[in-house]
Amino acid sequence: MKRRYTILFFVALSPLIGWSWLAAQWNTSMWNMANGIGIFGMLAAAVVAGYALVAKRNEKGWAVITAVASLPYAAQMLSLVGNVSFFMDMLGDTAGVAILLISFGTIATLVTAIVVAVLPPPRPPQDPQVAPARVVD
């Protein structure tokens, strides 16, 4: 589960990285650009996924909480996906990449959280089969 929560944590960080990159391009603060509950939900999703990773939690409930926290912003970003080329043209390549990180990172966070919640937990590793030792005189 640690590997799954590692992936979930870094995927949940990608929209926040995109927001901070876009804010840096526009010489403003990330918090000045926060427009609604979506960005705070993504922040909560990253914090929950990070906690599950650091605390080595094996429960699937943390993935469900991450999915619920990212759901409002993912719904907004699903409507944006069809207009990504417009934003890339309007904002330029550098800010367009930030828009890609924000939009697809948010959707990927939701999908990854659902996958982590749905898949069964991995089996613990088995002890390797060791051949019995023979005594040689």
Residues 6+ apart with CB under 8 A from 65: 48
Assess if residue 135 is contained within a domain.
no
Number of structural domains found in the chain: 1
Assess if residue 16 is contained within a domain.
yes
* Domain ranges, residue 53: 2-118
HEC per residue, 22-84: HHHHCCCCCCCCCCCHHHHHHHHHHHHHHHHHHCCCCCCHHHHHHHHHHHHHHHHHHHHHHHH
Assess if residue 134 is contained within a domain.
no
C-beta of residue 77 within 8 angstroms of C-beta of residue 20: no
pLDDT, tens digit, for every residue of 94-106? 677 787 888 888 8
Assess if residue 128 is contained within a domain.
no
> What is the value of pTM for the model shown?
0.79
**pLDDT averaged over consecutive 10-residue blocks of the chain (137 residues)?**
87 89 81 74 90 85 91 82 70 73 88 92 79 72
For residues 36 and 9, give the distance between their C-alpha atoms in angstroms, rounded to a whole number: 22
Assess if residue 64 is contained within a domain.
yes
Q: Within 13 A of 59's CA, how many CA atoms are on the CB side?
A: 9
Calculate the CA 18 to chain-centre distance.
Answer: 12
Assess if residue 127 is contained within a domain.
no
